[in-house]
């Protein structure tokens, strides 16, 4: 994306991530998904009507709104892998691991399989 560069100086979030918020504003984003929540405080995004969400929260919201579509996307994702994870269960094990940031999403998906 281009055309967001002029907005960077107007952003008030963490200096090293101002280009990210500027691109989100320019692109008309409703949600900025990041694991770096503290660099995008509410007061920095409020004027642009952008919500900031972790990947876990974003995926849980998508699952709540469109569970069949999310499960279809997970099936499609694993069908394209030539190596592990080759099953949704294996993918959810990875997503549910401590380092992935999607533990609640993985836990919520398992009973739906």
Please report, for residues 7, 27, 79, the alpha-carbon distance to residue 2 in angstroms, rounded to integers and kept in the order given: 11, 9, 33
85 preceded by a cis bond (ω within 30 of 0): yes
Find how far residue 86's CA is from the centre of its chain.
22
Based on the domain organization, do 47 and 88 belong to the same domain? Answer: no
Instruction: Give this prediction's pTM.
Output: 0.88
Please give the pLDDT value at position 1: 81
Number of domains in the chain: 2
21: pLDDT strictly greater than 90:
yes
Domain boundary among 38, 53, 68: 53
Buried b (16+ CB within 10 A) or exposed e, 59-86: bbeebeeeeeebeeebeeebeeeeeebe
Based on the domain organization, do 32 and 70 belong to the same domain? Answer: no
């Amino acid at each position: 994306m281009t055309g967001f560069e002029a907005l960077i100086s107007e952003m008030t979030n963490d200096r090293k991530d101002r280009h990210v918020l500027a691109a989100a504003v320019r692109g008309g984003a409703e949600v900025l998904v990041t694991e770096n929540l503290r660099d995008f405080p509410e007061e920095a995004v409020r004027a642009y009507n952008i919500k900031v969400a972790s990947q876990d929260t974003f995926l849980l919201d998508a699952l709540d709104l469109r569970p069949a579509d999310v499960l279809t996307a997970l099936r499609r994702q694993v069908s394209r892998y030539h190596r592990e994870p080759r099953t949704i269960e294996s993918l959810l094990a990875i997503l549910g691991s401590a380092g992935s940031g999607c533990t609640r999403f993985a836990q919520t998906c398992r009973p739906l399989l």
